[in-house]
């Protein structure tokens, strides 16, 4: 709702009349099982797409990392707004940073990506699943079920909970997920009027960066069942993208890849992302062959 209200306020400043249609998705309702076991991130967008298709809504605001890499026919990602903090945040009542944890401490996260990266950083820790909205996750931490939890910094900041952040992970240490921290706005692809209204909210550097990230995930078949990280940064027209793949079973070591180049168009950003994905695929094949 914060995200929808944020977009509503921006569009109203541009002179548009905007009302909100609040909805609860399956992803919000199923809290007792890992997303990778019940349909993945797409559970957060399906009901909203139905509302678009039926004409009940003109646009849907998503956390971009929840948006599947391939949209259904007739739908389009019309706008990606300027990115919030893309980093992961360390939240704990007792420990100021991951390095402060004693051996065997319990860390909670809902993300297979974070699980793989945490195991690489601290193989001595016990990593346990953590589902629920932010309030639920923080309550479980405060009840002592976990020694610390890892959350997206952007979500905490957007809800005014930044004081709960004890530390933020450097992206080189904990590589973010594709699209993390960015808002994406989905529409029916024939709604040129809505697409035109959203044009001024589009942030080109963020669009190019997340286009590269999502290309990595698309080629890798990225979903909640794959521990995959992809993060791109823009410096002027120069884009650098880093990615990492983790073994879902935690047996094989992390595979890393990166590429960089000058980018001004979406096609070039996507090409760099695909290049990184192919590097990852080769690395994964090499690890698998060595293990076999």
**50-108 pLDDT, tens per residue?**
899 999 999 999 999 888 888 999 999 999 999 999 999 999 999 999 999 999 999 99
Residue 110's pLDDT is: 84
58, 66, 85, 170: the active-site residue: 66
As a whole number, mean pLDDT of residues 127-143 equals 92
Residue 28's pLDDT is: 46
pLDDT-derived band of residue 137, with 50, 70 and 90 as boundaries? very high
Domain with CATH 3.40.190.10 in the chain: 1-84+180-202, 88-168
- Specify the higher pLDDT residue, 131 or 234: 234
The answer, yes or no, to whether residue 198 has pLDDT greater than 60, is yes
pTM greater than 0.95 (yes/no) = no
d(CA 15, CA 280): 46
The answer, yes or no, to whether residue 171 has pLDDT greater than 90, is yes
The answer, yes or no, to whether residue 12 has pLDDT greater than 90, is yes
d(CA 188, CA 113): 31
Residue 164's pLDDT is: 97
The answer, yes or no, to whether residue 287 has pLDDT greater than 50, is yes
Half-sphere exposure of 158 (CA within 13 A, CB side): 21
Q: Confirm whether 135 is a catalytic residue.
A: no
Domain with CATH 3.30.160.40 in the chain: 203-292
What percentage of the chain reaches a pLDDT higher than 70?
91
Residue 47's pLDDT is: 84
pLDDT-derived band of residue 23, with 50, 70 and 90 as boundaries? confident
What percentage of the chain reaches a pLDDT higher than 90?
76
The answer, yes or no, to whether residue 29 has pLDDT greater than 80, is no
Superfamily of domain 1-84+180-202: Periplasmic binding protein-like II (3.40.190.10)
The answer, yes or no, to whether residue 250 has pLDDT greater than 90, is no
Select from 3.60.15.10, 3.10.580.10, 3.30.160.40, 3.50.50.60 the CATH code of 203-292. Answer: 3.30.160.40
CATH class of domain segment(s) 88-168:
alpha beta
Half-sphere exposure of 168 (CA within 13 A, CB side): 15
Residue 187's pLDDT is: 96
| Neighbour count for residue 85 (Cβ, 10 Å) | 19
The answer, yes or no, to whether residue 223 has pLDDT greater than 80, is no
Residue 238's pLDDT is: 98
């Amino acid at each position: 709702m914060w995200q929808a209200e944020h977009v509503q306020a921006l569009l109203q400043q541009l002179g548009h009349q905007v009302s909100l249609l609040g909805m609860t998705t399956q992803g919000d309702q199923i809290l007792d099982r890992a997303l990778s076991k019940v349909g993945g991130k797409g559970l957060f967008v399906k009901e909203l797409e139905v509302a678009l298709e039926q004409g009940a809504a003109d646009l849907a605001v998503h956390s971009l990392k929840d948006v599947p890499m391939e949209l259904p026919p007739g739908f389009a990602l019309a706008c990606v707004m300027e990115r919030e903090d893309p980093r992961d945040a360390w939240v704990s009542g007792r420990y100021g940073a991951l390095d402060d944890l004693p051996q065997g401490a319990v860390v909670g996260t809902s993300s297979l990506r974070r699980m793989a990266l945490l195991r690489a950083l601290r193989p001595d820790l016990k990593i346990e699943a953590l589902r629920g909205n932010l309030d639920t996750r923080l309550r479980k931490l405060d009840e002592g079920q976990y020694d610390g939890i890892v959350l997206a910094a952007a979500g905490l900041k957007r809800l005014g909970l930044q004081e709960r952040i004890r530390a933020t992970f450097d992206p080189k240490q904990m590589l973010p997920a594709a699209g993390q921290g960015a808002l994406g706005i989905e529409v029916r692809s024939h709604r040129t009027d809505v697409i035109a209204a959203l044009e001024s909210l589009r942030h080109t550097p963020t669009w190019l960066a997340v286009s590269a990230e999502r290309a990595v995930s698309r080629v890798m078949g990225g979903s909640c069942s794959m521990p995959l990280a992809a993060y791109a940064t823009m410096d002027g027209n120069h884009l650098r993208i880093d990615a990492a793949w983790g073994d879902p079973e935690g047996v094989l070591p992390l595979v890393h890849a990166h590429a960089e180049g000058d980018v001004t168009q979406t096609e070039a950003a996507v090409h760099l992302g695909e290049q990184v994905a192919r590097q990852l695929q080769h690395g994964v094949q090499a690890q698998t062959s060595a293990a076999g």
